[in-house]
Structure 1
């Protein structure tokens, strides 16, 4: 026959005697502090110079495109031999400017996004080089476009009084030059703001 264990009586702790404190379990959380990346200047100078002198080459096809999209002005030859705009044809001066601005905005957006794809060179140095390079490209586009338009709409030498001729489009203000660099800076800045990484993703390149 199995024997049962005899009950053991445990006396309660005396009142007023301090109880041993139970130490809570300590949890250690380790945080890896990544050093904040700084702006790289020296390493990006040579690529920035290459960008600064390469982007203006895009101005030649842009000017050629503008010369074929901008509308000419129909002018009538006066008695003194000078051409005078017919009716509302003088409004085409604004049309030529707006076409130049739209071409600059479109190619500027492509330029900014293209520069952003240079992942290992992302930063303010390349952005500034692309912006000033775009300004030079806009000047090249204006010069090339005006020369190309003058060749397309060449006025004949033997003009007669009251003869209507198609005059080449013109750009009478320099404000249109700002469209290309502003679009480049805007596209690059929007990509940088959307990225959200401290180094803009350079280390992932």
Structure 2
């Protein structure tokens, strides 16, 4: 147990740091592929993509968007296999150490150790090390939660520069209710090259009825 636990904890931390960027990259690539697939379906239904022979080009685009996810998935599987192999090496190394050092103590220090004590220690260390090693593969679940919740918690913790409860800032004496938008630009994270809203200029007045 003393032989394997520090190494397992060290390897757990290294594995978490290695899996986290790979999982993030895989998620971003899969989202990009989903966006391409939805765009293809939209074109097939509304823009007659099939009629103009664009299937091959769109298939290449879809495969390229998933190439990064494939590479990250292969690397993640490799690291996970190495982690599991290290766990098994640590587990059975501890078993071998117990079977070698236990009989040695029973022969040399027979007044403190006997075969029964060796078996009790062996069983305890085996179950303890096995219990520690069982949670190693489930680190991926914590990584998934960290990737999914990182941006959500970032939005929750973000402080808006507009705070109506802060009375120390400058406040207008008269509020009419008019709203004016100046140079508003927006794009989706997975489609940064396309901007649905680009330098929007618009004004909403309190006494007018506007329609978009």
TM-score when normalising by structure 2? 0.35
Which one has a larger percent helix, Structure 1 or Structure 2?
Answer: 2
**Which of the pair has the greater relative contact order for Cα pairs under 8 Å at 6+ separation?**
1
